[in-house]
Amino acid sequence: MSNISEVRKRVMTIANKLKKTGSSLSESLKLAWHLIKKQTLSLNVKGTSFGKRQQALSHLTHYSKDKIEVHLVREPKNSFDADAVVVIIRVVGKGSYKFGYISKNISKVISILIEKGHLVSAEFAAVVGGPLKNMNLSYGLKINLKIA
């Protein structure tokens, strides 16, 4: 992306889509510049407390990062969000599981980028949190989103 006007155009396209989801213009521009400049974004996966996802996250802590793959799948027929992007984790040799979703404001942009043919991928970052004695803390999942 050597042409500055092309960079600006991509940033403004992303920022305008983010603003339409309710983000402020300032937040939208910062996120858009971050996505274009660094081409990676650290995210917390949403919805990790539903169903048996907490148990699955607990199991995930037993595997090394090189055995864990992250797949992003659009879910256009989702009744809550037509731009929904599901986060599916696959443990090599074990199987895969739906761990949650990318947040709504980010998934709107990711859906557009996927539709326009940009390569959007993710890698496992960490399982965070977890139960401690006398505390009811949930596990969470962090991924690194990459845009090419």
Domain that holds residue 32: 1-38
Percent of the chain at pLDDT exceeding 90: 47
CB 105 within 8 A of CB 21: yes
Residue 63 CB contacts under 8 Å (≥ 6 apart), including other chains: 91, 94
pLDDT at 78: 92
Contact 120, 147 (CB under 8 A): yes
Do 4 and 71 belong together in one domain?
no
Same domain for 31 and 53, yes or no, is no
**In CATH, what number is assigned to the domain containing residue 65?**
3.30.70.2330
Question: Do 104 and 118 reside in the same domain of the chain?
Answer: yes
Q: What is the pTM of this model?
A: 0.77
**Distance between CA 52 and CA 76 in Å, rounded?**
23
Q: What is the pLDDT of residue 1?
A: 46
**Residues 130, 63 share a domain:** yes
Give the helix/strand (H/E) hosting 87: strand 85-91
pLDDT in tens, 18-74: 777 677 788 778 877 877 777 778 899 999 999 999 999 999 999 999 999 999 999
Residue 47 shares a structural domain with residue 22: no
The structural domain count of the chain equals: 2
